[in-house]
Structure formats: structure tokens, C-alpha cells
Chains A and B, each alone.
Chain A
Amino acid sequence: MTSQTPGRPKFDAAPSGGGVSPKANTGGSSLSLRLEHVALHAGGKPDGRVLIGDLSLSMNPGERWVLLGPNGAGKSTLLVALAGLLQPNAGSILLQGKPLADWPGEALARQRAWCPQFWLDPFPVSAWETVACALFALQPEQSANEVETRARHWLAEFDVGHLADSDVRMLSGGERQRIALATACAQGAPLLLLDEPSSHLDWSHQALLQARLKTWAANGGTVLAAVHDLNLAWTLATHALLLDGKGGAVHGVREAVLTAEQLSAAYGVPVSLREENDARWFRVDLENSV
């Protein structure tokens, strides 16, 4: 066991050194997230529609997971539960072997970052100040200058460095999304829980997102991202979790989960795929659907 955590992404540092020393933020070795017989109902209510019946799996450092499933299948609810905001209706979620509910809020914030699907910005605030929130919350010993430098660094990483001083309420959807992603990464927690991180992003920025997430995982982080684009899912993921919205779930390495048969069953439309070398392309077979 070392004082420096292998689970912490190494590129989480200020540009040009910046005088930021990554803190040891875990007690154990590498961060893993385990689900044991987890059941989730809509809204977390006991009488809610069953979204997940009985799900056990574990996610480990270096893995990039995509979370797939039709609208309303429970992707966001699962991410909310994994963030600790919602108790599962049955089973337990363990981070480093410790149930989520037993983690103090601030310690948990050093382990996982949650990026929600929707942002409502009621008051004026600049992009860098939004990113800085996460840093102020977790690294109170940092000077304001260091925080601002790091915030601007992460905005630049997601190609919104030029918007650092803009009011977030005036930006386009894709720009707002990239600021949200910069915020999640700036938090510096190894586990990223991203709810539709590719929404509103154009192709070049979807590619940028993939590159950033791959680096994140390569540096020992874990990524779980809900996505709808199967082709993006394939190139992004090492693993996949596919919800069918009726309580069922398939999970494993992407090759085992992203099959025409399983995708067709989950989405209720015929999905066909083309394989070339190790790559797969997906499309919905419109002629044979509905």
C-alpha cells in the first residue's frame, strides 16, 4: 500500500506543474465499485416500476463502461444510485468494499464524480467558477489562484478554454456539456459517473470526449457513461451494461454485450451489425422494424 493512490488519474494536475500535489485520497489500493444483488425501482419507491431486478457486477480501474438501454430503462436512476443519492431497493453498492451509505460525503466526493444529464443555471456564473466549485469543495487548502489555474486547465482540456469567463447561461448546449465534463474531471475523483456525456456534442467533440475518457481510464480511473449511440459506445467502451427496462440486464466485455441479438431484444427494434477486423458498426434495420 502506497501513500499515493494508483486509482487517481495521473493527468489530474495543473498545467506547468502549478504546485499542485495530488493527495492520497484512498485508504486501500485501487478503487473498485461492486454491485451485489442490486434492485432498483423507478424513483427508488418500493411500489415503483422495476428497472433492475437483480444485478451483481464489479467495475475496476482502467475499465471504461458504457450504460445502455431504451429511454426510461433506468440508466439515470442507476447512476444516481451509484453516486449515493438514492438507496437501492435491495442489495448493496460497495465502493472499496465499503457500502456507499457508510462513506462520509466529502470522502465519497474524492472517489466519485457525478455529472447529471440536465443543468439548470438560475444565476449568472462564469464557466471557470462552475468548474472551481468542485475544487473549492475538495481542496480548501489550495489558493484561489491555483484553483483558477486548474479550472482553466480542465476547460482547455475539453476545448472550452476560450469560454472560461463567459456566463454559462449564454452558451450552447454542447459548450455547456463540455463545461460539465470539465467540472466532473476537475473534481479529481477516479470514478466518473457520466449521464449522457455525449449529448449535444458534435463529432469532433465526441472524439475529444472519447480521447479524454480513454486517457482517464489508462491513468487508473474508472468510467461509467450512459450513451445512446451504439457506435460511440463500441469505440468508447471496454465493458458494457445493457438494461432492457423490464428488470433485466446484460453486462460484461463489450464484445459479449453489444451483439445484434441482445441489442434487438433490449431496444425492441431489429439492430444489425457489421463486423470488420475487430470493429463493429451498428444500425437499426428500419425496413424490418415496426
Chain B
Amino acid sequence: MTLKPPPLTLALLLAALGVPAALLLGLLSGSSGWGWPSEEILWLIRLPRVLAAFGTGAALALAGALIQLVTRNPLGDPHVLGVTSGASVGALLMLMLAPTGMLLAPEIGAVIGALGAMSLVFALAWRSMGRGLAPSASPGTVIVLLVGVMIGAACSAGVSFMLAMANDLQLRNIVFWLLGDLNGAALWWPVWAAVGFALMLAWPRAQELDWIARGDAWAWTLGVPVAKRRRIALFAACLATGAAVATAGSIGFVGLVAPHIVRLTGLRHARMLLPFSALFGGVFLVLADTVARTVIAPAQLPVGVISASVGVPLFLMLLLRRRA
């Protein structure tokens, strides 16, 4: 099978048209129908929500791409590092225990929980992130993933415990938070800042991430400081994931699939994969959220429902078309 050269010009054109188009579509459609909203709705509700959706999708997709590269695992996903579950525990604790009327309570809880889980994963897997270079040593990347999954499992147990202890009103809030919900995502800019910072950390050395994905020991023999690059990339991924989860709760699918869809279009080098995954993830989540809040208006669906029901067939189609 011949690989097409990366369609860079086309991709840039699509991004230049697609991103504003998706943002505009998100701004123009609402529960009251299609059209230019009143100034109040635009500035206080639509714009923050659309920007939050874009940032969240971008953060998850970027984190997924980074984790897939440095763990050399196509199944890499932002949620495998345990950060999501840690954030959930923090957010749920605040939902249940914070005094009513406290501003941004679940968001603050999510940030603390995400940072806690991230610190734990880094403390436990610090050495493994640099290992796996000599073929005979146990593969470090597997240990990193397993540590993340274990932290995640422990946090999930905490989530289950809180579900069991919650009253009816709390349960509704908790379930919506866990499903991933952009309704009332008040602050849009922290996740944008996290995406920017993560890109700043990872993008300048993106090429080296490609070589690590080809073979970590081999990349080391080319002079790449593999342990350092891997730690920086995982740190950037954790930050982006934590910010995304704090903004919109746990949204699946985008982080795993956005990088693969971008790869299937031919943009397979990390230099292009990272920014374009972020753009694609952002656009995808804006569109999914637009559908989620209009399809059964005035009620709203959790955005995760739409992202999976649109994304799964889309991904399978792309995958099976290539294999045919």
C-alpha cells in the first residue's frame, strides 16, 4: 500500500475554512432556532460555550496524540493516565460537600483531583518513563500505562462510592458531570491556555516524538533524550486532559480517535499531527455540542452522546475504506 504524501496545503485550507465555519455554526444555532442571537445570549452564553467546546476537544485530541506517540500505543487515550478519574473524584467531592452557591466548585475540585492523580502517576512511574531502552529491560511504557490505569481504577472506586452515598439531587448533577457536559461551562479560557502551553512544550521537538514512536531505544541511539521527551510529553498531555475534564467533565472518544482520523488523512508526522489533531478535536466537539443542544431543544443531550454516535461510524468508515 502506497502512502499518500501529506496534503499540507489542503489541510491548511480546510482548517482555515473549517474552524471559523464550525465556530460560526455553533454561535448561530441554539435552542430557540437558527439565527443571529441577541447580544446578551451571544456574549454571555453562546460564545463562552462554543469556545469551551473547542478548547476541550482540542485539549483531549492533543493529549491523545501525545500519549499515543510516546507510549507507542495506538490505543493511547487521555483517560488512560488516570487524570480523568482523579478529576472526577475531586469534582464529585466538591459537588457533594461544597457549600451551595460556591462559584466554580466542581471545576476547582476537578483541577485539584487532576493534579493529584497526575502527581501520583508521575511519582510512581517516573523511572519507568525513562526505561525500556535496553531490550532486555521490562518495557517502561507498559508500566506507565498500567500505573495510570491503576490510579484510574482506584479513583473510579471512589466515584462509585460517592454515587452510592449521594442523594437524588446530587446524583443528577453527578451523572451529568460524569457524562461530559458543556452546559454551564463557565470559564472557557483555562483550557485554551492549557492547550497552548502543552503545544509549546511538545511541538518544538515534535519530530523526536516521531522517532520515539518508531523505536525508543533506536531514537536514543540517534541522540534523542528519550526519557526527557517522554516525561515532557506526558506532562503536557496530563495538563491538557486535566483542563479539559475540569471544563466539561469526562468526554470520551475524541482523544482516542481524533489523532487516528488526522493520520488517516495523511498528516502523520507529529509536527502536523499535534496541531491538526487539536484543530480537528476542537471542531468536532463544537459540532457535537451544537447538535447536543439543539436536537431535542429545549432539552439538551450530554455532548458525549453525540460525539460517540457521530464519531464511531465516522471512524469506522474511514478505517474500513482504507483497508478495502
Residues of A near any B CB (own CB < 8 A): 42-44, 76-77, 80, 83-86, 104-109, 112-114, 116-126, 129-130, 133-134, 136-138, 165-167, 170, 187
Contacts and interface: CB of A to CB of B under 8 A. Distances in A.
Given A44-B134, A77-B136, A85 B214 contact: no
A145 to B, nearest CB: 13
Instruction: Name B's interface SS.
Output: loop
B172 to A, nearest CB: 41
Interface string B128-144: 00000111110000000
A133 B211 contact: yes
A73 B221 CA distance: 23
B135 A109 contact: no
Given A43-B136, A80-B135, A105-B225, A124 B74 contact: no
A33 to B, nearest CB: 15
B229 to A, nearest CB: 12
Nearest to A165: B2
Contacts of A133: 210-211, 214, 222
B320 to A, nearest CB: 15
B220 interface: yes
B261 to A, nearest CB: 13
Nearest to A87: B134
A137 B224 contact: yes
Given A83-B221, A166-B3, A125 B136 contact: no
A137 B1 contact: no
Contacts of B136: 42-44, 76-77, 80, 86
Given A43-B136, A114-B221, A133-B222, A126 B211 contact: no
A254 B213 CA distance: 38
Contacts of A44: 134, 136-137
B231 interface: no
Contact of A76 (B3, B135, B137, B220): B135
25 contacts: A43-B136, A76-B136, A85-B217, A85-B221, A105-B222, A105-B224, A108-B223, A109-B223, A112-B221, A114-B218, A114-B221, A116-B215, A116-B218, A118-B135, A120-B72, A123-B69, A123-B263, A126-B2, A133-B214, A137-B211, A166-B3, A167-B2, A167-B3, A170-B1, A187-B222
Contacts of A76: 135-136
Nearest to B322: A124
Contacts of A116: 135, 215, 217-218
A175 to B, nearest CB: 13
A104 B222 contact: no
Which among B214, B217, B225 has the greatest number of chain A C-beta atoms within 10 A? B214
A116 B133 CA distance: 11
A173 B159 CA distance: 47
A44 B269 CA distance: 34
A105 B133 CA distance: 14
A130 B222 contact: no
Contacts of A112: 221
B207 A130 contact: no
B221 to A, nearest CB: 5
Given A122-B73, A136-B207, A85 B1 contact: no
A120 B215 CA distance: 7
Given A80-B134, A121-B214, A109 B221 contact: yes
Contacts of B218: 114, 116
Contacts of B220: 85, 105
A166 B74 CA distance: 20
A136 B224 CA distance: 12
A43 B136 CA distance: 5
